[in-house]
Structure 1
Amino acid sequence: MYQILIVDDEMHVVERLAGTMDWESLGVETVHRAYSVQEALVLLQTTTIDILITDIQMPGMTGLELIATVREKWKRTKCILLSGYADFSYAQEAIHHGTADYLLKPVSEEQVRETVQRVLQQIQAEWEDIVSQQRIQHTLKENLPLLKGNLLNELLQGRRYGADTWKPRMRELSIPDFQDSPFAMIMVRMEEQFLHYDAHSLSLFEYAVSNIAEELFSPHYDLWHCKDSHDYLVFMLKCKTSSIQTEVQQHLERTSSELQKAVSTYLKGKISVLVSNWGQFPEDMTTLYNQALSLFRKRIGSEHNLFMTAADTKIHDEPYRTLQRLYELPTLTQLLEAGRWIDAREKLLAVFDELNNQWSQSQEYVLEVFFTVSAAFSYITHKNGKQLAELMGPDYYKLTEGLPFRSVGMLRDWSLRVLDQLKADMDKEVQDSRSLIVQRVQQFVDQHLSEDVSLQTIADHIYLHPVYLSKIYKLETNQNITDYVFQLRMEKAAYLLKNNQEKIYEIAEKLGYQRAHSFIHVFKKHYNMTPQEYRDIHTAGKL
């Protein structure tokens, strides 16, 4: 849906064009009004305007100067010049500033409609070109390394994708097919010398390390790498040939050692390198990654320039006993922050299924889930300016009872119940907040109907962004604010015409119309009769 801004110091021109045309049929969501260049510039800074329709001659800055500013700051906004001056020099200057079209006053609604429709078609064609397959492929190629790394990082962190999701993404990003293949990981930590550099310089060194790794490994391995959340460089490798496993392992270790030496020789810095065991993609990814992290933490620690393999330790013989679903991405806290209540519920159910199936007899794991879930609930509640005690009632006191739950089932029921309470409270707060916004908008319009009741003015009064205000009002009332203003003006006009003897121009002024003929025009279009005809019909029986 499109946004249009009409700018003219003659209020009746703005009101006639904004209030009487069937903009919705053109796909226009909101028509903004401005009565000076200064007011238009304020609105342009806060709202994405698709088409600007502006007069030329206005106090202060001219429409041509406004268009020049728009071309400099908001290049995608199309401009239509509206003027009563049939002077070719204006048209020349307008063309120089890249104006989409030029209309002479007095202009008919049909002319405006045809012009706007033509410009909207131009906008549509431009966006179709932007999102065309060729542009997408070009952009994808430019950002390919980052996108590849992001996907690998998400998989390492435990984000669960169905095969029908990550397989197409891997193909799209030209990532080698690791499916059901043996793979190993190499984890690299940049050491102290590199860490003295600023972030930009460090990223260049990391890029250089990745290039060296590509050069060394790519003849024999398919490679996929990223920088993880702990600032390690992680390389996933799959052998290109079906060689004997022991020979592959020896070659992998030797080449990894060469990587460490090359970085020292050519980049003048030290790295620590860890070679993982082999696993199967994708099911072993998180396990091997967490094992590698554990080895770095337990075996390498704060020492520098070390090289080791997982085969050197017995850690691969030890079960990696942790609650996978509790910590994999997205976390419960992230889901609560995003308001993804259905996903948060599914996350909890998955956590409790894992807990029940594997560690239901361990009070330690039950307690771990309790603390983690409680922390997430506490965090989101406090972030929303509330206290858990007032929100949870009797359930709150479970948090203060040492070991509050003796079974997985009891903890599960409590967690889901509190989640529902959180959602209900958030929903009520959102609904109350939106209802209050609608109430304040309507109250302001009612009290200032004869003054400036543009979207920007109302937004400034309520201290909300005009785009946000417009969308919230439409969601709650199924009506645009400008439609409400027009409807209220027409209703008040009908009431005043029926119940007092004020002149037509006096009623027009009360309703915010600077010129009586503008009021007469919109009233006739709305009621299919002039204000005087309406008054005559509804007061005839009172005489």
Structure 2
Amino acid sequence: MNRLLIVDDEPIIVDGIYRLLQEEEELQLDLHRAYGGDEALEKLNAIRFDIVLSDIWMPGMTGLELQEHINERWPACKIIFLTGHPDFNYAQTAIRNQCMDYILKTESDETLLRSVRKAIELLQTERMNAGFLDKASEQFQLAVPALQREILQGFCEGTQPLKSLKPELLKSLSIPLTLDGKVMLVMGRVDRWPIQMTKAADKAHMMFAIHNIAKEYLSSCALQSVDVEHNRFFWLIQPKVLLEWGSTHAAAPEDEWSRTIRFVHGTLEMIQSTSLELLKIPLSLAAAKEGVEWREIPARYQKLRAGLSRGLGIGQETILIEGQQSGDFSVDESEIQKQTIRQLIRKWSGNDYVSEDEKQEMYKLLSLLSDMMDPFYEDVGFFLEIYYAIASHLLTQLNRWAVDHAALEEVEMDRVSHYQLHATRKDAFHYLIHAALRLIEARDDEKKEFTNQVVSRLNRYVEEHLDSDLSLTTLSDLVHLNPYYMSRLYKQMTGVNLPDYITDERIKKAKELVVESHLKMHEICKKVGFESPAYFTRIFKKKTGSTPQEFREKHQPTRFK
């Protein structure tokens, strides 16, 4: 829907064009009127207009002066000038200032409608060709590293299932790996940043340089780097032959994998020394002993992470190889499970559950947490860590969202903040999960209630002001929403377009007045908000199959006849 402003100092011209355009429903215009340049400027300063139909010569502010303001404030707005006197100089100035069309008031209505349609088509074309797709592509490329990190880190840390990794997804994110075959994992850590390097941007730049060094030395391999924290990263590595062969040869020969593993292990020292020599950045690296199936990567990730954190000797500039005596990577399976739970907690606490899909995902995540905690209720330290991580976030969200506590009356906050009030730790944790689920539901209930209130307020206002201005802009001011968003929200909640509802209510009231009153048709027309009797008659007949007079004759009780 495009917003159109009609500007002229002659009310009869403004109102006539308004009625003309109002009858052209297929144009889907949100129509506004201004009876002079100053009033038009006031409206233009308040909201955006897509098309302006303006007289070129008006007392006070002329159309040409108004055009200058429009070009400055809303450069995409299409301006159509109307004039009663052909003047080459005016036309030349208007066109030079990017006026879209120049129409004589003596020309036909069809000429005006044709110009408006042309403006609408031009707006649509410009929106398609404005470089939005190119800009979106550029922005997507800038966002690729973050998306790569979200997908691959989530998978390695156990918060994203393997099925979330699809070949087309890897391709779209320029991840040079294949899901057909094994993959090797290397984890790294910046042991110490130079003292003068305090800015996050500088550190990110250095991380990029470290990955470039690795790619140069391991150029015979396909390598995807992912930054995990400000000083940690990991690499996923495959022989390039896997990509060259494609999915028809899912597994590289074992001797190819053996060469790749030896090559990677032997090259780690060179990567480490080059980083120190060129970048002055010391690294520690931990590498898997072999390539493994993708489904095994989360477990290897936890083992390598634990091994790198444990370290040896001074704990800096180390190179650890899984399975070698110098780097004991044995990690209890329960520790891997704990790390996965911690990752799930971080994922939960970082989500606002705005969309329905996100809400359903959180339901599944909280249910999974409940199941995964079963073996750890006797581990008091870990239980307290997880319990209060969830409880703290729950209370933060409760306050931040300003959820009505009455909506959570079945949830006792004391029983959330004090696990000792429950018979067992398991009971306490299940109650906590129940509280978290209820919070999400309560927020969703409040959002629905607010939306219903908006719809009810709009309906009530329309019913009580049928003879008033019921433009989208006027109604949006009433509920403090953007006009287009309000219109979409109304349609989503009711299944009816808001302008159609307004028209239906006006016709409903008109039918009542036609049958139950002695008012003349032009009086009824005015009382229900139609601009002209002709337009009122046309819409009434379209909705009822009869003209207002025919409807009166057919339905009015005998005592009124």
TM-score category by the smaller chain?
Answer: 0.7 to 0.9
1:434 corresponds to: 451
In 2 relative to 1, CA 165–132 (structure 1 residues): closer, same or farther, beyond 3 Å?
Answer: farther
Once the two structures are TM-superposed, the CA of residue 523 in structure 1 deviates from its matched residue by 0.9
After superposition, what is the alpha-carbon deviation per residue over 1:98-149, rounded to whole angstroms, capped at 9, x for unaligned?
4555555478776666555555555555566679999887776676555545
Query: Does residue 308 of the first structure (1) align with residue 326 of the second (2)?
Result: no
SS of the aligned residue for 1:223 comes to strand
1:12 corresponds to: 15
The answer to which of 89-98 and 532-541 deviates more is: 532-541
After superposition, what is the alpha-carbon deviation per residue over 1:402-441, rounded to whole angstroms, capped at 9, x for unaligned?
1736486x56864665455335433432232123223333
The AA in structure 2 aligned to 1:391 is: L
SS of the aligned residue for 1:393 comes to coil
The answer to which of 218-227 and 283-292 deviates more is: 283-292
Q: Distance in 2 between matches of 1:328 and 1:107?
A: 69
Query: Does residue 344 of the first structure (1) align with residue 362 of the second (2)?
Result: yes
After superposition, what is the alpha-carbon deviation per residue over 1:167-220, rounded to whole angstroms, capped at 9, x for unaligned?
2121233322253334232424384436645444444444444434433x2434
Query: Does residue 184 of the first structure (1) align with residue 198 of the second (2)?
Result: no
Gaps of 5+ in 1: none
SS of the aligned residue for 1:37 comes to helix
Query: Does residue 261 of the first structure (1) align with residue 264 of the second (2)?
Result: no
Alpha carbons 2:222, 2:238 under 8 Å: kept: yes
Once the two structures are TM-superposed, the CA of residue 316 in structure 1 deviates from its matched residue by 3.9
SS of the aligned residue for 1:280 comes to coil
Q: Distance in 2 between matches of 1:157 and 1:106?
A: 73
Once the two structures are TM-superposed, the CA of residue 359 in structure 1 deviates from its matched residue by 5.0
Q: Distance in 2 between matches of 1:416 and 1:104?
A: 71
**Share of identical aligned residues, percent?**
19
Once the two structures are TM-superposed, the CA of residue 511 in structure 1 deviates from its matched residue by 5.4
The AA in structure 1 aligned to 2:532 is: F
Where in structure 2 are the equivalents of 1:121-270 lying within 5 Å?
121-122=121-122, 147-163=147-163, 165-179=165-179, 180-189=181-190, 191-193=192-194, 196-215=197-216, 217-240=217-240, 242-244=257-259, 247-264=262-279, 269-270=280-281
After superposition, what is the alpha-carbon deviation per residue over 1:316-344, rounded to whole angstroms, capped at 9, x for unaligned?
45543315155248822344532533212
The AA in structure 2 aligned to 1:193 is: P
In 2 relative to 1, CA 162–231 (structure 1 residues): closer, same or farther, beyond 3 Å?
Answer: same
In 2 relative to 1, CA 235–366 (structure 1 residues): closer, same or farther, beyond 3 Å?
Answer: same
Q: Distance in 1 between matches of 2:405 and 2:230?
A: 32
Q: Distance in 2 between matches of 1:196 and 1:84?
A: 66
In 2 relative to 1, CA 442–389 (structure 1 residues): closer, same or farther, beyond 3 Å?
Answer: closer
Q: Distance in 1 between matches of 2:394 and 2:149?
A: 31
TM-score by length of 2: 0.73
Where in structure 2 are the equivalents of 1:23-62 lying within 5 Å?
23=26, 28=28, 31-35=30-34, 36-42=39-45, 44-45=47-48, 51-57=50-56
In 2 relative to 1, CA 17–66 (structure 1 residues): closer, same or farther, beyond 3 Å?
Answer: farther
The AA in structure 2 aligned to 1:275 is: A
Once the two structures are TM-superposed, the CA of residue 15 in structure 1 deviates from its matched residue by 4.2
SS of the aligned residue for 1:193 comes to coil
TM-score by length of 1: 0.75
The answer to which of 432-441 and 502-511 deviates more is: 502-511
In 2 relative to 1, CA 487–133 (structure 1 residues): closer, same or farther, beyond 3 Å?
Answer: closer
Alpha carbons 2:341, 2:369 under 8 Å: kept: yes
Once the two structures are TM-superposed, the CA of residue 235 in structure 1 deviates from its matched residue by 3.7
The answer to which of 518-527 and 161-170 deviates more is: 161-170
Q: CA RMSD in A?
A: 4.5
After superposition, what is the alpha-carbon deviation per residue over 1:229-258, rounded to whole angstroms, capped at 9, x for unaligned?
445344444455544477335423212222
Query: Does residue 274 of the first structure (1) align with residue 285 of the second (2)?
Result: yes
Residue of structure 2 aligned with 1:454, choices 471, 480, 483? 471
1:324 corresponds to: 340
The answer to which of 282-291 and 126-135 deviates more is: 126-135
In 2 relative to 1, CA 148–246 (structure 1 residues): closer, same or farther, beyond 3 Å?
Answer: closer
Q: Which has the higher contact order (CA 8 A, sep 6+)?
A: 1
SS of the aligned residue for 1:4 comes to strand
Alpha carbons 1:153, 1:228 under 8 Å: kept: yes
Q: Distance in 2 between matches of 1:359 and 1:126?
A: 60
Alpha carbons 2:158, 2:298 under 8 Å: kept: yes
In 2 relative to 1, CA 137–536 (structure 1 residues): closer, same or farther, beyond 3 Å?
Answer: closer
Q: Distance in 2 between matches of 1:276 and 1:145?
A: 22
